[in-house]
Amino acid sequence: MKRLSWDQYFMAQSHLLATRSTCTRLVVGATIVRDKRIIAGGYNGSISGGTHCVDDGCYVKDGHCVRTIHAEMNAILQCAKFGEPTDHSEIYVTHYPCLQCCKAIIQAGIQTVYYANDYKNDAYAAELYQMAGVQVKKVPLEKGISLPGQVDNTSKQLDYISELLAKIEANGASGKEICDLQQQAERLFVPDN
């Protein structure tokens, strides 16, 4: 058995954390690491004790679910709650952090962002990372690493979904409809809890 690299080990932790997500739009996990030691983890979902999107649907305002706290924020807040400094740490996230999480990451003193999947990568976030001296590196989870409950996404399945979406778009579907359908297709490969 091949030993995982540190990057793959911490990214796998983030993917495992994502399985706890209660968001119905995108499942995200984040792991904060300092000196090769996990200091916090988070996933996107509602406040502790709050209503979850998986139970009552999303609470959407201006195209965003306001019920959900992002995985990166949950991990950073976990450090604050338990007195764990984040200065000079790294964060591993399943998806490229949004602009608001980018700003929190910078303010928390996190020096490197590792992400597995592109997701609405914001140009201004990239500019802020560069200005703050925060390194950003894409580290996709390697094929062959299986997580509990993970479904094998074969290239045939992904090609079929892409083909269907292209046909739907050719028949006049809007960009938003295509995006929504893509997100629904991605959720089909995430196991129900």
The set of catalytic residues is 72
Residue 14: φ, ψ to 5°: -65, -40
Quote the tokens at residue 63: 């195209």
The DSSP result for 92-148, as a single string, is EEEEPPPHHHHHHHHHTT--EEEEEE--S--HHHHHHHHHHT-EEEE-PPPTT---T
Task: Write out 39-53 in H/E/C secondary structure.
Answer: EEEEECECCCCCCCH
What is d(CA 188, CA 127) in angstroms, rounded to the nearest whole number?
34
